[in-house]
Amino acid sequence: LAKTTQPISMDSYEGQEVNITCSHNNIATNDYITWYQQFPSQGPRFIIQGYKTKVTNEVASLFIPADRKSSTLSLPRVSLSDTAVYYCLVGARGLDSNYQLIWGAGTKLIIKP
């Protein structure tokens, strides 16, 4: 059965680079890996999405190894406003072959001044 695993929490300081890794076994062959950010009392917000190798946008980078069993979200030069919960999201097929979206448990990132 598909499952994603990510660290429960991480601390860092302003200006540092933060890397959050998500392990995802049984990811569907043609599925993308997506990362979301969530602040308290808000719905998740899209950060970045990728299929393989490396993807970069204006706020983050996503590194995906060839076996696609994990992915690493990289946040460059974090600020206090990056304090939030970060989720990885993948698609996978369950035992009954029903396609499902599987969320990680979330990583609570706390940025200190």
Determine if 44 is a binding residue for other proteins (CB under 8 A). yes
Can you tell me which of 23, 26, 49, 74 binds other proteins, judged by CB under 8 A? 49
Among 91, 107, 109, 111, binds other proteins (CB under 8 A): 91
Residues 64-94: b if buried by 16+ CB within 10 A, e if exposed: beeebebbbbbbeebeeebbbbbbbbbbbbe
By CB under 8 A, is residue 3 in contact with other proteins?
no
What's the chain's Rg over C-alpha atoms? 14
How far is C-alpha 102 from the geometric centre of its chain's CA atoms? 12
**Which residues contact other proteins (rule: CB under 8 A)?**
28, 31-32, 34, 36, 41-46, 49, 87, 90-91, 94, 98-106
